[in-house]
Amino acid sequence: MERCQKDYKNAQEIQASARTLSPQKRKQICDEVARLYHLIEGTPDKDLPAIRFDLKGRAAGQWRLRKNAETLRFNPEAFSLEWDQHFPETVAHEVAHSLVYRAHGIRRVRPHGPEWKGLMRALGFPNPSVTHATALTTRTMRQYDYVCGCGPQPLSARRHFLISKRGYRYQCRQCGQWLRRSGSGCS
């Protein structure tokens, strides 16, 4: 879907639309994963890694190894916003990570080293890219309002947890007063 095809009412609607990826596009990605594995390894479909479309944040794709199980994760927002920028290169990028692992193991090679670059070339990408330029929404961190003699001091959710549940105390670096929770709650 091209960016400007539809008139959106607000930024939230744009973000909601970007987080969804049509079943046809998901199938295209899954088919491309299978094609790339067959191209290099002749891998049977039963040996393909799990494919998920739940990645968020700045990354467009991710190859993951947990408990000897491989997973390919893709960011639906990236593919929705700029399909042509990510398909098929991002798919090949993550498949190449998996194939490098299968050939060399996890500890023997650099993630984007010569082995990965060689596989990307074999997959049809002569100038493989490590990063992308798609502007993606990033996760917003919740902040909690605290105060001292200097005024309001927003603290991260982690520090708020340490104060409220573990009894930690923090002092302001400027005035030296102990930070205390303001009455307004979190932002």
Phi, psi for residue 178 in degrees, rounded to 5? -75, 135
Instruction: Select from 113, 102, 110 the least CA-distant residue to 70.
Output: 102
Q: How many CA atoms lie within 13 A of 16 on its CB side?
A: 6
Q: Return all residues near 129 (Cβ < 8 A) that are at least 6 apart.
A: 89, 93
Hey, what amino acid is at 138? T
Partners of 181 in the beta sheet?
Answer: 146
Rounded distance between C-alpha atoms, residue 95 and residue 116, angstroms = 10
Rounded distance between C-alpha atoms, residue 47 and residue 58, angstroms = 29
Partners of 51 in the beta sheet?
Answer: 72
Instruction: Say which of 82, 89, 94, 115 is annotated catalytic.
Output: 94
Rounded distance between C-alpha atoms, residue 144 and residue 103, angstroms = 48
Partners of 150 in the beta sheet?
Answer: none
Told to judge if 94 belongs to the known catalytic residues of this protein, a careful annotator would answer yes
| Residue positions annotated with a catalytic role | 94
